Chain A
């Protein structure tokens, strides 16, 4: 089954990354096809595995401040800063719906 344009659009929204061209969409189709092989395996009664170290306790340290004071270094790598703030364009404006966006999917 081919992935619907709605799902493709949804993915572009979620990932904030575009398919760019038909090759991109093909790539996803092939990836899904490839992953479908998983369904051949019988996993009844098997617990999902999150980590190979699951038999051990996670290391937690004391909640004490041991490092910091590196504001200057952290701000250095950003392109848009004002005093000690990172500057971002206005938020709360969702990415335009498919009709408005200049994206490959619009043509499909």
Chain B
């Protein structure tokens, strides 16, 4: 809708950009952005405006404000990964996905906040502080909150965004941008998408280039897409997918961008409900919602079957071992010599490296590096690392069997419950939380399958709850088509933010509009 508005001249790219920048300023308390590139964004918006004036926009994304998670390299802009290790690091190049967006005229507003090095499920463990869920300040949440006796308590009531792409999810959810890039290794895009009520797409591993995405787990990382509606996600996917010679893990098959059809007949669909996803700790609310969704498909004529993915409960353990092992390897590059933080210790190379890493990494990162090194020790290699790789195959095979039996799409919950209040969340440490929260999203990363979170309904506390669809490898079109149908059926409510001052009702309309396509 916004793209059409830009084309028709009802609003200009610079106006759009300025409104978004103003909104970012007024929602600063959310702490969604680490770096806001005001000047560069305005310049990009001006260039876009010139193109529209000449009637030569670069495409549907021309002039659309977007945000990028701070673990993607962006030329000339500080890229920190929310870590002291990379504070002050100015990337010399653009990640391929960032370059693709810029080439299509998108306006980069800034870099969003995350858990340090994308490790975490709350966006609470970065050096710039936690990200607040915009829904904490929504009318819907406030109406349902138990009234507190003191007014200061209102401040501590806020809920987390989920993680680790919390900043990106919060940015999209609070209307400061129309789409954002996140990364997904164990659910890092889908988890915050569910908590913030936005669409979070994890593409098939190998579809979108990881060149420029600071790696966590090379065999599972993918760039994630966060938008307000499924159609937008398809547009972004169309711009980003495809082989990249700079990333040899991208497949060489031709990718054709697609438009999503409006599905009316679901009778040929087979939806699988994996029973193991009724995991311990799943809130009864979400269980009910999941059931309701299954019924929705059944009543519309689709075939809904219960299926089994027997190794589901080991996926999180397997992830834990493989992730820490790859992290131990990937974090080895941070030694202070070529970039990033460098300690003042000068006695020897090793002592400088050790001091740099001691000063630069937080407890979570250090913990994972040490665990990873433990699992990779010669005496442990077979027992843990290779064992985990074998279990990974079993998990991937579970999915293959289910899809081979005729199921098209799997329907599962995305999170165990709605967003927790920050004060409650930090009572458990990062690793425990990640292990709890990643349970439902993690297996898709193990198997490399595409998955999407679609905001479904509001919980009793007035917070968003989403459901997840998992599809076959490289069948994003089918996955998104079903997701779009579902989105239309559930009519998820628009967030009603109170504390953000609104200026002009007319342009407000454009900003509040769910989509830009």
Contacts and interface: CB of A to CB of B under 8 A. Distances in A.
Interface of A: 3, 7, 10-12, 14-20, 23-24, 27-28, 30-32, 34-35, 37-41, 43, 46-53, 56, 58-61, 70, 73-74, 76-80, 86, 88-91, 93-96
Contacts of A96: 351
Q: Shortest 3 CB-CB distances between A and B: which pairs?
A: A52-B448, A48-B389, A93-B348
Interface in B381-406: 383-384, 386-394, 396
B317 interface: yes
Given A16-B357, A34-B317, A53-B205, A28 B367 contact: yes
Given A18-B366, A53-B206, 17 more contacts: A3-B374, A15-B370, A17-B361, A17-B370, A38-B321, A38-B384, A41-B387, A52-B396, A52-B448, A53-B205, A56-B206, A73-B92, A78-B337, A78-B338, A78-B342, A88-B349, A89-B345
Interface of B: 89-90, 92, 205-206, 219, 243, 245, 248-252, 311, 314, 317-318, 320-321, 324, 328, 335-340, 342, 345-354, 357-358, 361, 363, 366-367, 369-371, 373-375, 377, 383-384, 386-394, 396, 429, 431, 435, 447-448, 473
Nearest to B446: A52
B390 A95 contact: no
A38 B348 contact: no
B394 A17 contact: no
B326 to A, nearest CB: 11
Contact of A77 (B90, B367, B371): B90
B320 A31 contact: yes
A93 B448 contact: no
Q: Is the interface of B mostly helix, strand, loop or mixed?
A: helix
Given A3-B374, A18-B358, A24-B367, A31 B393 contact: no
Contacts of A91: 348-350
A71 to B, nearest CB: 11
A43 B89 CA distance: 44
Nearest to B91: A77
A1 B377 CA distance: 17
A98 B388 CA distance: 32
27 contacts: A11-B370, A11-B374, A14-B373, A17-B354, A17-B369, A20-B358, A20-B363, A23-B363, A27-B370, A32-B371, A35-B320, A37-B317, A40-B314, A41-B387, A49-B390, A59-B243, A59-B250, A76-B92, A77-B90, A77-B339, A79-B336, A86-B338, A88-B352, A89-B346, A89-B348, A93-B350, A95-B350
A41 B391 contact: yes
A53 B89 CA distance: 33
A49 B392 contact: yes
A37 B435 CA distance: 13
Contacts of A90: 347-349
Given A30-B431, A52-B205, A58-B248, A41 B314 contact: yes
A48 B393 contact: yes
Given A49-B389, A59-B248, A93 B347 contact: yes
Nearest to B342: A79
Given A20-B366, A38-B318, A46 B248 contact: no
A8 B345 CA distance: 23
Contact of A27 (B245, B248, B252, B367): B367
A52 B447 contact: yes
Contacts of B90: 76-77
Given A27-B367, A38-B321, A17 B357 contact: yes
Contacts of B206: 52-53, 56
A37 B193 CA distance: 30
A32 B113 CA distance: 30
Contacts of A94: 348, 350
Contacts of B317: 34-35, 37-38
Contacts of A77: 89-90, 92, 338-340
B400 to A, nearest CB: 11
B338 A50 contact: no
A96 B355 CA distance: 13
A12 B250 CA distance: 35
Residue picked from B342, B345, B351, B431, most chain A C-beta under 10 Å: B351
A89 B336 CA distance: 11
Given A20-B366, A28-B367, A28-B371, A43 B349 contact: no
Contacts of B375: 35
A16 B354 contact: yes
A27 B431 CA distance: 9
Contacts of B92: 70, 73-74, 76-77
Contacts of B358: 17-18, 20
Nearest to B368: A31
